[in-house]
Amino acid sequence: MAPVRVAAPMVAFFTLVLSFSGCAGEEQLPFGLQSQEVVEADHATVMAPAPDGRMFFGEQFSGQIKIIGVDGKLQADPFAQVETTSYLGQDWGLTGLAIDPAFKDDHFVYAFYTQPISPAAPEASPPFGPVARPTLVRFTDENGRGVNPTVISDNFPLTSAVHADFNANGNIHFGPDGYLYLSIGDYDIFSDQPDVLRKLDNPIGKMLRIDAKDGSAAPGNPFAADPSADPRIFAYGFREPFDFAFQPGTGRIYATDNTTVSCEELNIIEPGKGYGWPDVGQFPFPDCTAGNGVDGIYIFAKEGVANTSDFLATFVEVSGLDFVSGAQYPQLGDSLLSCELGTGVLRRVTLSGPNGDQVKANDVLVKDCKRDVTVGLDRLIYYATETEIRKLVPSNEQTPPALGS
């Protein structure tokens, strides 16, 4: 696998950063928090803490996987690099990273990215974009170097040259059951190939549950007995489920689904359920309601902006989710964290009700979170801007603990 270095694209909306005045590390934030820089990082779309205290992270457009050591410093050389295409916008590239539950024994690290297949053809009529394929690859950690790259699965359809650069591979996470879950977007084909998204014979617009050893369907999947269905499918009906998180204690899966307007759902994902897409009616949604399928438990919308079909003006684009414990942050409580690419906001969402399907609080923590949020082994909140990975610590904590503490 020959890595290809690519420059970050010049896309206007990526430069939109909404932040508190002054440096976030110098200003008092809500809930008595302080934001501190950890390392510089270029579009770090995904972070994954390892059980030995290190933090792995992936840069979406360079395809590099890097390591923050237990001392909080960036390892000099990248852990590994996957191939990316030279034409990138918001969705393609390295978007998923997961550490094997048995990492202490097998040292496996998994990456989910868009493998380039063919370049763009701008001279064609109509012009064609590049073609790629979502790919899951496994590396073995050997003293901080990723060796023995192994493709676990590239059993995914090629992207559409007509709808290049949108809604392909999402994120990957191991569930409490030890199986690997993957989110796949709709390839942006909802307008001209909606039936593909409704069918269960393909992984487009689905959440999958697989055995990470070989990419096969995990036992007990809801459509395993249907000979016409892709047995890897766990749930369906998604446009762009960019990230999801398992709630500690309950194992519930919370996922967002990004739409083309300022109406982004927070869903609880259940096996075999459909979540509506592409049956959503006409844009814009006057009241953020979708069509058939399981209703979201909450809607993220861009505050102070009219809900129109103007994508750049209204999109929220939730790009990262994770759960934080009130044991480490009593002022936050046990909460869901949400990072928004479109607004730059990191939110604390407090869930309630016996089924965890009610939102009783939604508070802004910082306004410079653009890529991902995760809770490290030290139980601190780490989040990624366009250029840095930062962490949130109590403002009276002068010497934050090391990652492995």
pLDDT range class, residue 255, cuts 50, 70, 90: very high
Residue owning tokens 């650069």: 165
Which pLDDT does position 254 carry in this prediction?
97
Which pLDDT does position 46 carry in this prediction?
96
Which pLDDT does position 4 carry in this prediction?
32
pLDDT over 50 (residue 13): no
Select the more confidently predicted residue: 310 or 321. 321
> Which CATH fold would you assign to the domain 42-321?
Neuraminidase (2.120.10)
145-153 sheet: strands from edge to edge:
94-99, 108-118, 131-142, 145-153
Select the more confidently predicted residue: 394 or 140. 140
What's the whole-number mean pLDDT along residues 136-149? 98
- SS3 label, residue 129: coil
Which pLDDT does position 200 carry in this prediction?
97
Per-residue pLDDT reduced to its tens digit, 216-251: 999 999 999 999 999 999 999 988 888 999 999 999
Per-residue pLDDT reduced to its tens digit, 63-100: 999 999 999 999 999 999 998 866 655 678 899 999 99
The H or E element spanning position 158 is none
Which pLDDT does position 20 carry in this prediction?
39
Q: How far is residue 275's CA from residue 272's CA, in Å, rounded to a whole number?
A: 10
Per-residue pLDDT reduced to its tens digit, 340-396: 988 889 999 999 999 999 999 889 999 999 989 999 999 999 999 999 999 999 776
> Exposed, middle or buried by CB within 10 Å (0-12, 13-18, 19+), for 258?
buried
Select the more confidently predicted residue: 253 or 286. 253
Q: Could you tell me if 46 and 57 are in contact, meaning their C-beta atoms sit under 8 angstroms apart?
A: yes
pLDDT range class, residue 10, cuts 50, 70, 90: very low
Residue owning tokens 């690997």: 180
pLDDT above 70 as % of the chain: 80
What's the whole-number mean pLDDT along residues 33-60? 96
Domain range annotation of the chain: 42-321
Which pLDDT does position 22 carry in this prediction?
35
pLDDT range class, residue 120, cuts 50, 70, 90: confident
Rounded to two decimals, the pTM is: 0.88
pLDDT over 50 (residue 210): yes
Which pLDDT does position 5 carry in this prediction?
31
Per-residue pLDDT reduced to its tens digit, 154-209: 999 988 777 766 777 889 999 999 999 999 988 887 778 888 888 999 999 999 99
Q: How far is residue 282's CA from residue 303's CA, in Å, rounded to a whole number?
A: 22
Q: How many residues does the chain have?
A: 405
Residues 6+ apart with CB under 8 A from 124: none
Concatenating the DSSP letter of every residue in 51-62 gives TTS-EEEEETTT
Give which of 326, 393, 356 is closest to 33, Cα–Cα: 393
Q: How far is residue 47's CA from residue 55's CA, in Å, rounded to a whole number?
A: 7
